[in-house]
């Protein structure tokens, strides 16, 4: 069974541009969450989607957005990129349909974004 797949793996963007990252969850998983990882702030929760609906959102500005499609695939978008947005963006998926804690969460390899 394939794991969580993220594309692209590496990308370089210029300040002010926007970027879209893609994630395919593990087959059968309908919950997709996104994280940002930086050396200074560590791993931080961005948002979570289930059945095309955002159910929870972390403490990030509105420039960070996401969506989920009917096949559970998800995209996240960052607009008006800033140098501080350079990070590893991780997508994770889980199987359970019910909310709440206790559902095993599996991560992809991430998308490395560099903003210059």
Partner 1 sequence: GESVGLHLPTLSVQEGDNSIINCAYSNSASDYFIWYKQESGKGPQFIIDIRSNMDKRQGQRVTVLLNKTVKHLSLQIAATQPGDSAVYFCAEDRSYGGSQGNLIFGKGTKLSVKP
Instruction: Outline where DSSP puts E strands in the chain.
Output: 5-7, 10-13, 19-24, 31-38, 42-50, 53-57, 64-68, 74-78, 87-94, 106-107, 111-115
Which is nearer to partner 1, 20 or 88 (by Cβ)?
88
> CA-CA-CA-CA torsion for 22, 25, 29, 34, nearest 10 degrees?
-60
Residue selected from 28, 59, 62, 100 as contacting partner 1 according to rule CB under 8 A = 100
Stretch of 14-22, 60-68, 72-80, 87-95 lying at the interface with partner 1 (CB under 8 A): 87-95
Residue selected from 11, 22, 58, 67 as contacting partner 1 according to rule CB under 8 A = 58
Q: Which residues bind partner 1 (CB under 8 A)?
A: 4, 31-33, 35, 42-45, 48, 50, 55-56, 58, 90, 92, 94, 96, 99-110
């Amino acid at each position: 069974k394939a794991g969580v797949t993220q594309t692209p793996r590496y990308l370089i963007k210029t300040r002010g541009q926007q970027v879209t990252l893609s994630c395919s969850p593990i087959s059968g998983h309908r919950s997709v969450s996104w994280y940002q990882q930086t050396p200074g702030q560590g791993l931080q929760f961005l948002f979570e989607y289930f059945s095309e609906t955002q159910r929870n959102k972390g403490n990030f500005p509105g420039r960070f957005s996401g969506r989920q499609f009917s096949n559970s695939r998800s995209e996240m978008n960052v607009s008006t990129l800033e140098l501080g947005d350079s990070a590893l963006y991780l997508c994770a998926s889980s199987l359970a349909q019910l909310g709440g804690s206790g559902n095993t969460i599996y991560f992809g390899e991430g998308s490395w974004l560099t903003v210059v």
